[in-house]
Amino acid sequence: MSQSTTPALPVTFRPGRTRAILLTMGLAMFVVITAVAMMLERLGPGERASFVFTAALLSGVLVLLSRPKVVADEDGVTVVNITRTRRLAWAEILKVNLRPGDPWVFLDLSDGTSLPALGIQPGIAKESAIRDARALRALADSRGTSAETR
């Protein structure tokens, strides 16, 4: 791919449909569990609070699961996974991989490790994930170590 087919920077890749479903389910679950807690007449204030706390905890887990994204800018890539964020310079990314059956993109790094990038995952939107992985690969190829050797 040539640099002219790479997306304009900055660009954010995230699983939009998966995120929408997770956030919608989190909100719905919170509302339903809280409503049930308020409708049960036998519950005391402490028990109702524990229902609401449990609903908030479950919703919080779904919010964390909806957090992943990959943000590419002129200086590099920020990978936001469920609980960790890592900033990478373009030169650190040797290869962008999304092989058949992979749950998400993996970045092969110059230190010999591989970093999962959960922001590009083929779960619900396979075509979109493939397109995003190709775009990130083109950006890495045009700005990373392979561009420096030209």
Could you list the pLDDT tens digit for every one of the 150 residues in the chain?
A: 444 468 889 999 999 999 999 999 999 999 999 999 999 999 999 999 999 999 999 999 999 999 999 999 999 999 999 999 999 999 999 999 999 999 999 999 999 999 999 999 998 888 999 999 999 999 999 987 655 544
User: Tell me, what's the pLDDT at 145?
Assistant: 64
User: Tell me, what's the pLDDT at 3?
Assistant: 44
Are the C-beta atoms of 96 and 37 separated by less than 8 Å? no
Q: How far apart are CA 16 and CA 91, in angstroms?
A: 28
Length, in residues, of the chain: 150
DSSP 93: E
For 76, list phi and psi in degrees, rounded to 5: 160, -150
User: Tell me, what's the pLDDT at 70?
Assistant: 98
User: Tell me, what's the pLDDT at 108?
Assistant: 97
